Chains A and B, each alone.
Chain A
């Protein structure tokens, strides 16, 4: 994909968007707390993410990383605290409403539609950008057909970008794990998101697959200026792709800073050593 590819330009993706916007907080997480029964999964976590930035969230298993992403994308609503997106309080919105505001995500345990083809999964990612209702869908002619074809072209650009041409018509369930992760990124990208939430996108991958995924994430950031919040275990990967890291442990934020600062932080060392560092 060339940087100028018009079909891939997301809502936030003008070539200048990134340069002018860096420094404005696009996502504000304010004192967010969420518990399940007696378990305090996230407690009083705050941080900001600037437009176009890649922020990594790290921490041992059970630290509350996934729960935090779930709060941002509306799957859970925090008991206390606020999530602010581009100045708008979105704490109590439902997932489709959050998605409509330009937030896309992937899941730790892959949540693709397994019986559908790669193309159809990505077309579902275009759902919000399409308008066809029941009648137009049934007619599949004229404007309705043109819309399907136009969005198919957008999807094919993403297929090319992620280098998954060869599997585009395969049912997702039949694909190896690493490719499924890539397809799920593709579905999220199909939304042309302003904010991309990635929950362990390289989990369970081999080195080569990890490198590919890291490259895709950096390309998305460079070319579209997409804001990315990334959960990752692998410190090496985190160092490579993000300049800022937030560390959670037992639901609390224990550190924040550049990867080097965070690595030197005794609290972080202790949290990781305490649970056997990954």
Chain B
């Protein structure tokens, strides 16, 4: 995370190729992990709920960034792939009586299958057309889940799942749920970092940057486009499944087109083609509506409006601000918050000998 290279020389390729080659970076990353693990000691359950929402969002955002940021394939279907994971987890737990740690990979696997299928159009079309094809996927999946009683049977396509437990320990508080969500997010994060710096990730980037050159050196772009859809929707599926166990409910309304758009907003604002940027984006987009509520409520109170009068405005305002920010970042800082973070980091990298 923090990379100070001043005076550091690598003597082996293993060392040079490590995730954090500089010792200070290693220590900083370790420190970050310790802080994350100990976070529940300092935060109350209200704050922990926010942290949980961010952590959940980060998983889906990292997955989407692998597809959009690294491989260059647009997708408006991330919400739908999360929905697939969510319902899969609910069914696996209810019908097969499986614990959450079976439901998670199951949700990921089924979403990966569905995602790969809906990724097939990417073999023929790109850009805007692909965005529309994945938009269709979003609606088809939403409709299908909603209309098959076998999947979503019950009132309003809602499935309730029992409180998850881990070897007898009930996961029934925000603090405990954090320890269910955090390890999954940690694995998702490290796995993505490793992926993008090795063979498969390089192939993804090659497909994104120059598909003719990629093919010439033997990268099968068809294969890697589908693989990117598979990996990305696996992440989405796991995130959706976690969402189910977190809320103890699977409901399609959590995974609509709005969800897909906000995940796109996360990676655009956080930084396309950056794993850490996805996390920044998840933090930003999760906290933004809450900040908006405070601002609008405060403003309304000052002007003497009732909350009911502004509730509608608030819902729309959120989308408008998302849209505005996406345009703003695309126009001004396409590499997002990660780039800004990079600028700060670059300044300190060779510190104190910056010149």
Contact = CB atoms under 8 A, between A and B. Distances in A.
Contact of A138 (B191, B213, B218, B221): B191
Contacts of A231: none
Contact of A105 (B198, B200, B216): B216
Contacts of B311: none
A148 B206 contact: no
Interface string B114-132: 0000000000000000000
Nearest to A184: B213
Contacts of A113: 205-206, 209-210, 213
Interface string B205-220: 1100110111111111
Interface centre among B191, B212, B216, B231 (most CB of A within 10 A): B216
Given A107-B213, A127-B217, A187-B217, A149 B17 contact: yes
A132 B204 CA distance: 13
Interface in A137-180: 137-140, 144-145, 147-149, 152-153, 156
A221 B263 CA distance: 52
Contacts of B306: none
A148 B17 contact: yes
B210 A100 contact: no
Q: Is the interface of A mostly helix, strand, loop or mixed?
A: helix
Nearest to B200: A137
A100 B219 CA distance: 10
B199 interface: yes
Interface residue tally of chain A, by bracket?
35 or more
Contacts of B13: 149, 152-153, 156
Interface stretch (A3-11, A114-122, A236-244, A267-275): A114-122
Interface string A67-89: 00000011100000000000000
B217 A128 contact: yes
A29 interface: no
Contacts of B206: 113, 124, 127
B139 to A, nearest CB: 29
A271 B220 CA distance: 40
A90 interface: no
A94 interface: yes
Contacts of A153: 13
A55 interface: no
A111 B211 CA distance: 10
Given A75-B216, A99-B217, A134 B203 contact: no
Interface centre among B19, B200, B227, B230 (most CB of A within 10 A): B200
Contact of A96 (B194, B202, B218): B218
B198 A148 contact: yes
A95 interface: yes
A255 B182 CA distance: 70
A2 B14 CA distance: 24
A195 interface: no
Contacts of A74: 215
B237 to A, nearest CB: 15
A63 interface: no
A133 B206 CA distance: 16
A248 B337 CA distance: 53
Contact of A116 (B194, B202, B221): B202
Contacts of B212: 75, 95, 111
A96 B220 contact: yes
Contacts of B210: 111-113
A228 B210 CA distance: 24
B340 interface: no
Nearest to B227: A134
A124 B219 CA distance: 8
Nearest to B199: A132
Contacts of B17: 148-149, 152
A191 interface: yes
Given A130-B199, A132-B199, A145-B14, A114 B217 contact: no
A58 interface: no
Interface string B291-308: 000000000000000000
Contacts of A111: 210, 212-213, 216
Interface of A: 73-75, 94-96, 99-100, 104-105, 107, 111-116, 120, 123-125, 127-128, 130, 132-134, 137-140, 144-145, 147-149, 152-153, 156, 187-188, 191
29 contacts: A75-B216, A94-B215, A95-B216, A96-B215, A96-B221, A99-B215, A99-B216, A104-B216, A111-B210, A111-B212, A112-B210, A114-B209, A123-B199, A124-B206, A127-B199, A127-B203, A127-B217, A128-B217, A134-B195, A134-B231, A137-B195, A138-B192, A138-B194, A140-B19, A140-B194, A144-B198, A149-B17, A156-B13, A187-B217
Question: 4 closest pairs, A vs B, by CB?
Answer: A99-B218, A140-B194, A95-B215, A111-B213
Given A124-B202, A127-B202, A134-B231, 18 more contacts: A73-B216, A75-B215, A95-B212, A95-B218, A99-B215, A104-B216, A111-B213, A112-B210, A115-B205, A127-B203, A128-B218, A137-B200, A137-B201, A139-B191, A140-B197, A144-B198, A152-B17, A191-B218
